[in-house]
Chains A and B, each alone.
Chain A
Amino acid sequence: MPMALFWFLAAVSLISALGVVLQRNPVHCLLALIVTLLTIAVLFIGEDAIVVGFLQAIVYGGAIMVLFLFVIWLLNLGAEVGPTGHLALKFFGTIAVAAMAAELMGFVLPPHLQVKFAGHAAGYGSIDSLAQKLFSEYLVAFEVTSLLLLIAVVGAVALARRASASELAERAAAIAAQRAR
């Protein structure tokens, strides 16, 4: 990846990340987040992580963000009006974050992080090298992930479904009994 492209992508990702935090309308925040995710996907591809880069664009920038968008529309959220949040919280939060960023920069900027890099072997980042790793060394983790997704789907359905009429009646009866006591 040429340096000019890197600087461009870095600038776009930082500006859009700030857009997520600073805008008032949640839909605008979400659109800024999608821009950030796509620039990060291009950075992945620039690092020869081609499969993961495309997965990032399709799964993250596509599927997960559409889920967010549906929820925003479902809840019919508009822009926040008036002053939001607490000024003291914002003030001290910004100071704390600046301190954390300074510490992180102090860790990553010194030259001890430089490693000798002489180009990648052929096939680095390709789908078969990823699959080879995934289905040998990380096989147990992969199987556990399938369990995790199953639990997440069942949990999401259980949380988001409406209670049936008989359940609502049961709950109302329980509350009435409690009041009568």
Chain B
Amino acid sequence: MPPLTYLMALSAAIFAIGVLGFLTRRNILVMFMSVELMLNAVNLAFISLGSRLGTMDGQVIVFFVMTVAAAEAAVGLAIIISVFRGRETVHADDLTMLRW
């Protein structure tokens, strides 16, 4: 089995790529995908730590994270669709309805 530090380093690297995508991309859908990337990096950290500590808690928490991610995807994509209907855009800079 690979050492724990390697797995954690991989998880950190994927998380950093997800943050980079969220900060630099302006397409809402791609920003959303970057969030999924970050969630999965954290899942990997949970699984590898739980595995090395010999507990099932890490896996149960990943189970919950998946459920929350599914709920988040459903609501988030519904918001994107309803915004697109009114504005015909998915570019984050064009969405200024909430700007004061």
Q: Which A positions have Cβ atoms within 8 angstroms of B? A: 1, 3, 6, 10, 13-14, 17-18, 20-21, 26, 29-30, 33, 36-37, 40, 43-44, 46-49, 51-52, 55-56, 59-60, 63-64, 67-68, 71-72, 74-75, 77, 80, 84-85, 89-90, 93-94, 96-98, 100-101, 104-105, 107-111, 113-115, 117, 120-121, 124-125, 129-130, 132-134, 137-138, 141, 145, 148-149, 151-153, 155-157, 159-160
Q: Is the CB of B20 within 8 A of A71?
A: no
Nearest-CB distance from A81 to chain B (Å)?
12
Are A6 and B14 also in contact (CB < 8 A) when A21-B25, A156-B78 are?
A: no
A129 to B68, CA, bound (A): 22
23 examples of A-B residue contacts, CB within 8 angstroms: A10-B6, A14-B17, A18-B17, A29-B29, A36-B40, A43-B10, A47-B48, A49-B47, A56-B43, A71-B77, A71-B80, A75-B29, A77-B90, A84-B25, A101-B13, A113-B5, A114-B5, A125-B56, A145-B67, A149-B67, A151-B71, A152-B71, A159-B78
Q: Is the CB of A105 within 8 A of B12?
A: yes
A134 to B18, CA, bound (A): 29
User: How many residues of chain B get a CB closer than 8 Å to chain A's CBs?
Assistant: 69
List the A residue with the shortest CB-CB distance to B92.
Answer: A85
Q: Which B positions have Cβ atoms within 8 angstroms of A? A: 1-21, 23-27, 29-30, 32-34, 36-37, 40, 43-44, 47-48, 50-54, 56-60, 62-64, 66-75, 77-82, 84, 90
A145 to B67, CA, bound (A): 7
Report B-chain residues with C-beta under 8 Å of the C-beta of A145. Answer: 64, 67-68
A101 to B8, CA, bound (A): 12
A30 to B21, CA, bound (A): 13
A137 to B70, CA, bound (A): 23
Q: Is the CB of A47 within 8 A of B33?
A: no
A-B residue pairs, 7 tightest by C-beta: A152-B71, A93-B23, A21-B21, A108-B8, A104-B12, A101-B16, A159-B78
Are A51 and B17 also in contact (CB < 8 A) when A40-B44, A114-B4, A152-B74 are?
A: no
Q: Is the CB of B47 within 8 A of A44?
A: yes
A67 to B60, CA, bound (A): 24
